[in-house]
Amino acid sequence: MRETNFIIENNARHLWHPMAHPAEMQAHPPRIVNSGEGVEIVDIQGKKVLDAVGGLWNVNLGYSCEPVKKAIRDQLDELPYYSTFRGTTNSPLIELSYELAEWFKPDGLSRSFFTSGGSDSVETCLRLARQYHKINDQPERTKFVALKKGYHGTHFGGASVNGNQNFRRNYEPLLPGVIHLPAPFTYRNPFNTTDGAEIAQAIATLFEDEIAFQGADTIAALIVEPVLGAGGVIVPHETFLPLMREICDRHGILLIADEVITAFGRTGAWTGSRLWGVKPDMMSTAKAITNGYFPFGAVMISDKVAHVFESNKNSVGNIGHGYTYSGHPVGAAAALATLKETKRLDVAANAAARGEELLAGLKALQNKHELIGDVRGKGLMCALELVSDRAKKSAAAKDVVQKVHDATYDAGVMVRTSGANVIMSPPLIVTAANVQTILTALDAGL
């Protein structure tokens, strides 16, 4: 490893960062994170801060999860790679598919298809949804319905169902035949109400209206995050997802739950679907499945969808989709160890309890700081929306949001900003004292 000065001088010089303007990164190079321990990270200057971002919603068990590290090391020694394309597989993957079928049994999901991350998982769901209808002799069901403010990764399919212009405009034209419904958002919506149940009903009515207009027999699937993450932690009313499920069922539309963030306890329930009492037809997962230590994802598939594929003996049932790293043995070993630790530590219960403390503390900060327009959260995914004028709900200026971020960092806590939102998604192992540290630093930052 080269010396510190070399690293600092070359920061952002030869590499482009995701979700960042290269020129801006060159002018204001990103922070260099050198190490992590427990729920803290240490930057190249030696400053230690509590990571209230949890890596990127994924390091649920923190940075010192020895069983996962050991599983990775051991698997590297045993078998560092082999393909899972037709004809070969590996032992940890078979064990993982068994464990995942157990894990997701309450969600009605029993088959898995492996990927290298969230965008791959979303893409896989979209492709399998179309194929499902083709096998079912409904080849015209090709369209997708999604939510504005939804985030589904950055592959062309995922970007097409994405509900934020930042991830779309510069890459258009995207997939045709995608319909976006409003987000179930109480703070900002086109319905002139703040009542979550009314908003859910209004979106359901729009969905029905679109189905009538497009023709149900042209729609393949609805894709939703049970709690919208990157769009600013938007928590739907409890009636929302059940309403969507019921409409999908009535019209033969598949429901894809994008649980790349929510699948392993972050909302305080083991899955976001379970949180709302809904069984999806497919679920995309990634991130926390390996505690962020290895790029990996799994698409979970319901019995209903599986049956259609498995009972078809023609070429239309052949899955012409997959990745070199689908089912990577090291990822599988990491996921097995992560699932075991996730269950042993019962992190969903901790996420629920600590999440309530964090949300209550953020609401107290709202009473103190005019800058906070809205506070939202479920479990350990929370957001503050910063405004320059509370009555008008006008978004806070970019430099103000950056200053809050930097001052909070100086006070010892890393948060993430996205537009005018300050987002918190700490590891699910945080203590009550860690939650207070986050709140104290944010108070200082604000």
- Per CB under 6 A, residues contacting ligand PLP are 117-119, 122, 151-153, 225, 229-230, 258, 260-261, 286
> Residue with CB nearest ligand PLP?
118
- How many residues belong to the chain? 446
60 near 342, Cβ under 8 Å?
A: yes
> Could you give the CA distance from residue 348 to residue 269 in angstroms, rounded to a whole number?
6
Cβ closer to ligand PLP: 257 or 413?
257
Cβ closer to ligand PLP: 57 or 207?
57
Least Å distance, CB 318 to ligand PLP, is 25
Q: Which of 153, 403, 197 is nearest to 295 (CA)?
A: 153
Cβ closer to ligand PLP: 54 or 118?
118
Cβ closer to ligand PLP: 118 or 265?
118
Q: Which of 347, 381, 377, 349 is nearest to 61 (CA)?
A: 347
Least Å distance, CB 363 to ligand PLP, is 25
441 near 413, Cβ under 8 Å?
A: yes
Least Å distance, CB 229 to ligand PLP, is 5
Least Å distance, CB 244 to ligand PLP, is 16
3-state secondary structure 286-331: CHHHHCCCCCCEEEEEEHHHHHHHHCCCCHHHCCCCCCCCCCCHHH
Least Å distance, CB 286 to ligand PLP, is 5
380 near 351, Cβ under 8 Å?
A: yes
222 near 204, Cβ under 8 Å?
A: no
Cβ closer to ligand PLP: 62 or 153?
153
Cβ closer to ligand PLP: 134 or 376?
376
Cβ closer to ligand PLP: 263 or 401?
263
Least Å distance, CB 118 to ligand PLP, is 2
Q: Is 232 helix (H, G, I), strand (E, B) or coil?
A: coil
Least Å distance, CB 293 to ligand PLP, is 14
> Could you give the CA distance from residue 379 to residue 267 in angstroms, rounded to a whole number?
4
> Could you give the CA distance from residue 146 to residue 58 in angstroms, rounded to a whole number?
23
